[in-house]
Structures are given as structure tokens and as C-alpha cells.
Amino acid sequence: MDTETLVRTRRALHAVAELVLAGPQYRDSGTIRLRACAGGFATTAEPRLRVIGAELVAPGQALSLEWTTCTALGAALGLAVGAPAGLYGDGPVVAADDAVETDPSAARRLARCFALGDAALRGLFAGADPVIWPEHFDIGVTVDGVNYGVSPGDAFQAEPYAYVGPPTPRRGEFWNAPFGAARPIRELGGVIGTMAFLEQGCGLAATA
């Protein structure tokens, strides 16, 4: 898959996650936390919404994300779309009226990224409840002050990657990113390889 298609789809899904899922959920239920689900990601409270591949699924409705806007999605669902106000300064920087263009194959790839991250984090950290944060659109947990997770890609790296982010900078070959350490998912060989990378980071973060 070409990088342009993957990035365009990620940007679209990030916009939907922030403006259509997290924002309305925050206003209705007081939380911005999203979660991985089979085939994509979902809210954790009201309104109950899921993104499955290239579709937004609500009770009794399934809306295409291949070509639309967040404003149109909100109108179809009776939701006032928009980011959660006053909580963070980053985000996808996509307006509600901007085009959302989602490639189904790219959407499925990004869904697998979230599923892999969820499984790896739960497998490594007993009792973990991984969260997809709408600000950066990654799935992660924080353990003893260290952030662990999987990103579907961002300005740092276009393709999906796993990361370890300690609270203070570390030195050494393992720490190859400004925020700590990162490895492309394609190099890690699935859940077991991702767990091994995160576990290595956990050990190094504790001893540095």
C-alpha cells in the first residue's frame, strides 16, 4: 500500500475519532477515552459509536467514510460534532467541513494496528486497559510513569509503529526517537514481537 493512501486514511479516521466520537462523548459522558474493538475502534460511553473499517456504525445505522465530512456524519446521527474543548492543543487539525477520504484497505490495516497494540499491551501488563487517545490517535498505557503503545503513524513516522516513552530522556542504541524508542510494526513480527520490544523498553527504562 502506498504511503499517501495510508496517511490520507489515517488523517480521516483521526478526524472522525476526535470530532465525531470523542468530542460528543466528552460532552455527553465526560470522557474522551476510546477503545479498540473488532475491526476498528469505538467510544467507551454514550453515544455508542464504532468505526469498523471504512464505516461509522451507530445503533441501526452504518455510514460510509469513503467520502464524506464530519459535519455530514453528525447531521445523519443527530450529533453536534466537534473536538473536546479545552483539553489539549494538538489533534488532527481537520475541520468538521473538511473532506474525509477513507480507503477501505488502509482502514483495515490501521484497525489491525490497534488490535495488535491492544493485545500486546494486555499481554504484557496484567490488568491493563489500553486507551486510544483522540489527541494523538494512538493506543497506549502508562505504567510507572512510562508510556507504552502503538501508533498508526503520525508526523514522526508515517507508518504504524510501537513506542516506549519514558518521562525523561534516555541514552543508548535502543532509544532512537525524540520521545524514547520506536520500531515499525512491520519489523516486529506481530503481537509477540511487539510485546518483546515493549518489554525490552520496560526493562531499560527501569534501569536507566
Same domain, 121 and 197: yes
pLDDT confidence of residue 108: 97
pLDDT digits 0-9 by tens, 66-109: 999 999 999 999 999 999 988 887 777 789 999 999 999 999 99
pLDDT confidence of residue 208: 59
Which of 76, 105, 134 is at the close of a domain? 105
Q: What percent of the chain has pLDDT over 90?
A: 90
Q: How many domains does the chain have?
A: 2
Q: Any bridge partners for residue 141, and if so which?
A: 148
Same domain, 133 and 158: yes
Which of 56, 86, 105 is at the close of a domain? 105
Same domain, 140 and 196: yes
* CA atoms of 147 and 31, how far apart (whole Å): 20
The answer to whether 67 and 12 have CB atoms below 8 angstroms apart is no
Same domain, 94 and 61: yes
pLDDT digits 0-9 by tens, 152-187: 999 899 999 999 999 998 889 999 999 999 999 999
Which of 90, 105, 120 is at the close of a domain? 105
Same domain, 76 and 132: no
* CA atoms of 45 and 145, how far apart (whole Å): 26
pLDDT confidence of residue 85: 86
DSSP state of 168: S
Same domain, 112 and 202: yes
- What is the rounded average pLDDT of the residues 27-44? 97
pLDDT confidence of residue 66: 98
CA end-to-end distance (rounded Å), the chain: 38
- What is the rounded average pLDDT of the residues 36-46? 97
Same domain, 16 and 77: yes
What length is written for the chain? Answer: 208
Q: What percent of the chain has pLDDT over 70?
A: 99
- What is the rounded average pLDDT of the residues 37-59? 97
Same domain, 79 and 128: no
- What is the rounded average pLDDT of the residues 126-134? 95
pLDDT confidence of residue 178: 93
Same domain, 139 and 167: yes
pLDDT digits 0-9 by tens, 189-203: 899 999 999 999 999
Sheet with 50-52, strands from edge to edge, namely 61-64, 55-58, 50-52, 40-43, 34-37, 131-133, 138-143, 146-151, 161-165, 181-184
pLDDT confidence of residue 207: 78
Same domain, 42 and 72: yes
Q: State the residue range of the domain holding 51.
A: 3-105
Cell triple for residue 55? 464505516
- Non-local (6+) Cβ contacts of 58 within 8 A are 47, 48, 49, 50, 77
The whole-model pTM stands at: 0.94
Same domain, 86 and 113: no
pLDDT confidence of residue 67: 97
